């Protein structure tokens, strides 16, 4: 198994974000989760991106492909909502899902 890439908590990429319309802030939760937010008072919407610093490079040979498989399961539906229902819900509010 490949060792994980270290991502120091003091490194920020906020300079890559456009801060022309609002304040960008960065915070770290007690569990180490890094959160970057941008408040744009003139916009009534929310964008959310979730990146987890683990993946197929961290899998053993025995579990090869499991990360990719789990990624796709996230949008395959539940007991109460089909994959189509989830996609329609995203589309209905102008959203997009991608796994």
Residue 26 dihedral angles phi and psi, to the nearest 5°: -125, 135
Which of 6, 21, 59, 71 is labelled catalytic?
71
Q: Are 41 and 22 in contact (CB under 8 A)?
A: yes
In 3D space, the residue among 45, 62, 66, 46 whose CA is nearest the CA of residue 54 turns out to be 66
71 labelled catalytic = yes
Enzyme catalytic residues: 71
């Amino acid at each position: 198994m490949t060792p994980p890439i270290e991502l120091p908590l003091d490194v920020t990429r906020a300079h890559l974000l456009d801060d022309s319309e609002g304040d960008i802030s960065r915070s770290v939760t007690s569990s180490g989760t890094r959160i970057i937010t941008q408040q744009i008072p003139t916009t009534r919407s929310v964008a959310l991106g979730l990146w987890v610093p683990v993946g197929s490079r961290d899998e053993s040979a025995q579990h090869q492909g499991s990360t990719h498989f789990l990624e796709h399961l996230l949008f395959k539906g539940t007991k109460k909502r089909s994959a189509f229902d989830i996609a329609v819900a995203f589309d209905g509010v102008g959203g997009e899902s991608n796994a």
